[in-house]
Structure 1
Amino acid sequence: MPALPDAITKAMTMARTAENGRHAEVLVSDGPLRQSVIALRRGVRLPEHNSPPAASIQVVRGSVRVTGQEEAELRAGDLDALTHFRHAVEALEDCAFLLTTVTSQPSGGSHATRTGEMPVMKDEDRA
């Protein structure tokens, strides 16, 4: 497995020369866990797509805009959850990010809306 800084440098170089302006590489694949480095040239957009049951994005270089149910601009060092909603990612400048996904988690569906409500615990569930 390559060191993360080397993988990011490689992905950035590949994205800058790729016709589609992007490059992705899976770094960790362990059961349902996947960690990938994705690099995008400025202005490249990953179209809206479904989120797996659990996912996060950590921007390592540059900045991105994540749109969907919620919109956020993320810069190098920012970490955000992508769980439970369709989203798109647009590079505001040349960027690289670490995408972490868990694909086999039981859930209420990967496109449920966030309500901010806490689950109700029954007395028998409390220990």
Structure 2
Amino acid sequence: MEKLSLDAQVRELLKLAAASSTGRSAHTVYGGHEHVLRQTLIVLTAGTVLAEHENPGEATLLVLRGRIVLVSGETSWEGRSGDFLVGPKARHSVEALEDAAVLLTVAKHG
């Protein structure tokens, strides 16, 4: 069994993101490329955009802090602390409307 504090990790990643020219920081908290399931903590400073990308499989975003907008084509969904968003099966992008932290969970298709 392993236990970690997502709150503590968010605080550390926010410091790294604020100091980074990209305005973001991430850490895989479970799984990885050799696993079907991967959970990654992603922190974005206000105004930072994760450029449009493909969905690598089934994916969800749990907003832990702040506000984001998930955009796919002409459709967008806003998420704030406590919101759970199911990733679209199409190309999409994510923008932080304010400093934000999300837990991205991905189950890759074989």
Q: With structure 2 as the length reference, what TM-score do the two structures score?
A: 0.89
User: 1:83 Cα shift?
Assistant: 3.9
User: 1:59 Cα shift?
Assistant: 0.6
Q: Which position in structure 2 is the counterpart of 1:22?
A: 24
Q: Which position in structure 2 is the counterpart of 1:121?
A: none
The answer on 1:78 being equivalent to 2:83 is yes
Query: Higher relative contact order by CA 8 Å / sep ≥ 6: 1 or 2?
Result: 2
Q: Which position in structure 1 is the counterpart of 2:69?
A: 65
Q: Deviations over 1:71-110 (max 9, x none)?
A: 10110100010041111000000111000001135xxxxx
1:98 counterpart SS class: strand
Q: 2 CA distance for matches of 1:89 and 1:23?
A: 14
Percent sequence identity over matched residues? 33
Q: With structure 1 as the length reference, what TM-score do the two structures score?
A: 0.77
Q: Which runs of 5+ in 2 are unaligned?
A: none
The structure carrying a bigger strand percent of its residues is 2
The answer on 1:53 being equivalent to 2:57 is yes
User: 1:16 Cα shift?
Assistant: 1.1
The answer on 1:95 being equivalent to 2:100 is yes
State the aligned residue count: 105
Q: Deviations over 1:53-76 (max 9, x none)?
A: 200001111000100143101101
Q: Which stretch shifts more, 17-26 or 64-73?
A: 64-73
In angstroms, what is the RMSD of aligned CA positions?
A: 1.4
Q: Which position in structure 2 is the counterpart of 1:34?
A: 38
Structure 1's consecutive aligned runs of 4 or more residues displaced over 6 angstroms after TM superposition are none
